[in-house]
A and B are shown apart, each in its own frame.
Chain A
Amino acid sequence: MTAPLLRELNSLLGPSNVLHKIEDLVLYEYDGSVEKARPDLVVFPHTTEDVSRIARLAAKYNVPIVGRGSGTGLSGGALARGGGIMLVFARMNRILELDIENARAVVQPGVINLDITRAVEHAGLYFAPDPSSQKSCTIGGNVAENAGGPHTLAYGVTVNHVTALELVLPDGEIVRVGSRHGDAPGYDLGGLFVGSEGTLALVTEITVKLTRKAEAVKTLLAIFDTVDDASHTVVEITARGITPAACEMVDGWTLCAIEDYIHAGFPRDSAAILLIEVEGLREAVEAQAAAVEDVCRTHHAREVRIAKDDRERDLLWKGRKNAFGALGRLAPSNYVLDGVIPRSKLPQALQQIQLIGKKYGFSVGNIFHAGDGNLHPIVLYDPRDAKQFENAIAASHEIIRYCVELGGALTGEHGVGMEKNELMSLLFSDADFDLMRRVHDAFNPDSSLNPGKIFPLSKGCGEIRVRKQAGALPAHV
């Protein structure tokens, strides 16, 4: 390819930081979602200035840019729906500064989530948001999606742990928002940019808060003979005002798959388990664990086990966090949904999900953040079977509609991306879209950053440029 844009990118970054051959590009046409879209070029910046120059080149050639971390996202947020340049932050992966005294870290967006914790755990600190993909996902991706994880029940999601950002706007301008120590006078721009799914700016540096490790922790495994008992347990834990650090549910169908793969010690013959963690001062942990156990027993838990050491605790969490990998052994593909409901509605929601699954001919597994009301039904399907794929999508939409009917929302932590942008009208009015569009256009007026995301294509930014098929760049490029 001798196109002028490729030549300029090669000269800017060096050929080792630019991919353009089809056999390379296909590796970047998917993420963790069921969607696909191929970029025309993939580039690997090393510095903020690289990102700024790439943005200016993209503007010059009128080509869209999509930022990407490790590509573990689950809503197609890091897919090049409009083709163009995919800007992969993998090589901007340095921890720039650790300020242990003030519990802050300044990092580049390509730093792996868990690596922040590894860098500071010697000082008794860690980075609290812990998505299941934390061994491979980047902090930049976490910021774009406002990622959560099991322990966000007590500690909050990514936005609660970010105090400042450096951004590159579509015209290449470099700006900083927020402040290291927080509470800067003015609008909470960080609060807007975190979770904006790469549609407003490219994030090139992130200042995060570090959290002090709790003095004591207890991990309980509660085993139930019915899903209903498990879900009523969650409702009562919430209603009693017990706030565990994490409260996860796994249903029996999923447990068997995990056991075959991880051997975490989950019972194969149960209908559901709750994995509940309590943290804090020793005295608080004792009292909370006793209260949790009491609620579990009230709702007919067959057994409540407490992990006796770190090894056992790590094994339970390994089982939970690798569940999606385990399911990969059962079918060619799985579709992990992400809906959120008021926690008091959990029992009825789980019943309805099973009915919807049956209607479309699927067994639906459930492994999710029960304490937050953040559901993750999983549909196993074969993407080569067009009808199955169509049914998987239809089942997903019906489940999400039901979440909204219950007073919930479309997504708790995976983002809207290109998975749910057409469902946004379930929650938002034309006036809501109009304001969101004005905010979008204030930073990304030509929709050159991550086009085709968040907004329904019919209502969003009129300028959203989405090609039906990603492919060759415009002729002039």
Chain B
Amino acid sequence: MTATANLAARLESLIGAHRVVAAEAELLEYAIDGMVPGAIVRPASAPEAAEVVRFAIAEKLALIPSGSRSKLELGMPPARYDLALDMTGLHEIAHYDAGDLTLSVDAGIPLRQLAKVLAEKGQFLPLAVPCYETTTVGGTIASAIDSVLRNQYGTTRDFLIGAEFVDGKAALCKSGGRVVKNVTGYDLHKLLVGSMGTLAVITRLNFRTFTLPQASGGHLAAFKDLEGASIYRAAVEKSGLPLAVLETLSPEMLALTPGVQPGNNEGFTANFDADHWWVYASYEGSEAVVPRIARDLQKLAREAAASSDQVLSASSDTHLGGILREAFDWLRWAAPAVALFRIVLPQSKPGNLAGLLSVAQESTLRSALLVRAAGIVYFALLAENDDASALHSLETPAARVFSLANTSHGHAMLLHAPLKLKSRANVWGPKRPDFAMMQRIKDSFDPQHIFAPGRFVGGI
């Protein structure tokens, strides 16, 4: 019996043959950065997940939980990968009190399916994240991938109110609760956000929900250069207008954005030149509020000498919002080799953005830049082939991006890069001063280091 068949057989005797897969074709679908697991296990309940974790501890096996596997490439290649724990078998809504605006769901439920249930009660979760059609709630939380709505609703940390999970001792644990305000015990669930499966197997997540707005709208303004766009954006932010989405697109980003080129038939009627910078705002609220915000944005755009601006129709706004929500997904495939950074920079210094563009110019690579809310910048360096020369051409500018973020009192990480570059550049950037504290957290949750070893910051 091969090692894989042997592993699968023992798992089958543990939780049943129908929950274990070891066929090669399926194993390949769970590969992470070229590493293929020895078996896939699909638990149907939290106790079953705990059983698998207990087995992994006893056998010293490395285990990586996953949902729809839409973002498995995030993070570093795993140091070891024996078991894929497919959590999509846990997909129930455990509790939904629409009157209290609170919700408790299994980690494996697809976000799209959940949204439908919430919409029936006129509610939603502000998780407008990439890979939206397939992603699970658990994967969204574990990856902490940005929601385009964060300008208004904050990050998951702000509306995740509790969690249940299996820790590295195979114990079923919980943190927080199902109430919107709670300081009972340590907020361990906050540590799970963005932890990339390295602390625990998330089995259930509790949220506060939000009411769907009565109305929404969108506005686009075009500027002939970065400076104009930055002046406008600063004025918009200072105005205090409540904007759900606020994004700045460089001309190169615009050229890459699928289906929104100027002059097409998606409703972008104003005179948007292809070499301009675009600032897109989307907003929501009552019937009275939406036109007021539109008026104010038009006024601010004209004061900032926009070369053109337009209030979007509802369908154009939905269309553009959906495309920008998916930016991570399409940017990573926008050229044969792409280094896609997520950078956090002080909002008040547009000079930092110019610095990023000059990194690309000096390297002769194409680049594209998208500024999201709260100083978050998506910056893509694009190489025209994926051979060794591409790796070489990406490596030096990538190092400069990390360095520029650091000296600007911000930080950077690589969301996507060719595998060879990932290993050499370290996608998480340089170790931060609190790294030793993170190791302590890892050791507390997962003393045997069985969860997704090597994928997280500093090799955690």
User: Once the chains bind, are B240 and A146 in contact (CB under 8 Å)?
Assistant: no
Picked from A238, A280, A283, A432, the residue with its CB within 8 Å of the CB of B175 is A432
Instruction: Tell me which residues from 151 to 191 in chain A have a Cβ below 8 Å from any Cβ of chain B.
Output: 152, 156-157, 159-160, 175-189, 191
Q: Is the CB of B435 within 8 A of A186?
A: yes
Q: Which one of A47-55, A256-264, A301-309, A369-377 is at the interface?
A: A369-377
Assess the B122–A431 pair: CB atoms within 8 A.
no
B211–A412 touching, CB < 8 Å:
no
* Beta-carbon contact of B242 and A281 below 8 Å: yes
Q: Are B154 and A160 in contact (CB under 8 A)?
A: yes
Enumerate chain A residues within 8 angstroms of B457, measured Cβ to Cβ. 185-186
Q: Name the residue of chain A whose CB is nearest to the CB of B348.
A: A101
Q: How many angstroms between the C-alpha atoms of A416 and B184 in the bound complex?
A: 6
Asked if B99 and A175 make an inter-chain contact with CB atoms under 8 angstroms apart, the answer reads no
Please report whether the interface of chain B is mostly helix, strand, loop or mixed according to DSSP.
loop
* B102, A342: Cβ atoms closer than 8 Å: yes
CB-defined contacts of A22 to chain B, threshold 8 Å: none
Answer whether residue B167 sits at the interface, using C-beta atoms and an 8 A cutoff.
yes
A374 to B184, CA, bound (A): 13
Q: A284 touches which one: B180, B181, B285 (CB < 8 A)?
A: B285
Q: Contacts A284-B286, A443-B440 given: A414-B183 contact, CB under 8 Å?
A: yes
Known: A156-B154, A188-B190. Contact between A146 and B183, CB under 8 A? yes
A98 interface residue (CB < 8 Å to B): no
Residue pair B99, A239 in contact (C-beta under 8 Å): yes
Q: Is A438 a contact of B183 with CB atoms below 8 Å?
A: no
Could you tell me the distance between the alpha carbons of A182 and B191 in the complex, rounded to whole angstroms? 15
Q: CB-defined interface of B158-190 with A at 8 Å, one 1/0 digit per residue?
A: 100000000101011111011111111111101
Give every chain A residue within 8 A of B410 (Cβ-Cβ). 179, 181
Given contacts A181-B346, A409-B177, contact A283 B286 (CB under 8 A): yes
| CB within 8 Å of A: which B330-354 residues | 344-348
B421-460 to A contact mask, C-beta < 8 Å, 1/0: 0000000110011111110111111010000000011000
Contact A191 B157 (CB under 8 A): yes
Chain A's closest residue to B291 (CB) is A283
B residues less than 8 Å from A215 (CB atoms): 240
Alpha-carbon distance between A424 and B186 when the two chains are bound, in angstroms:
12
A411 with B184: in contact, given A160-B154, A188-B191, A280-B242 (CB under 8 Å)? yes
0/1 interface trace, chain A 95-110, chain B, CB 8 Å (1 if under):
0000101100000000
Contact, CB under 8 Å: A439 / B441: yes
Cα separation A67 to B182 with both chains bound (whole Å): 22
What distance in Å separates the Cβ of A350 from its nearest Cβ neighbour in chain B?
A: 16
Can you list 18 A-B pairs, Cβ within 8 angstroms, ordered by A? A187-B194, A188-B194, A195-B187, A342-B102, A343-B99, A343-B100, A343-B101, A408-B177, A410-B184, A412-B182, A413-B181, A415-B183, A424-B184, A427-B185, A431-B172, A432-B173, A435-B445, A439-B445
Known: A287-B286, A410-B184. 15 other contacts (CB 8 A): A102-B347, A145-B183, A148-B181, A148-B183, A183-B376, A186-B434, A188-B157, A195-B186, A280-B242, A281-B242, A284-B289, A427-B185, A432-B185, A439-B188, A442-B440
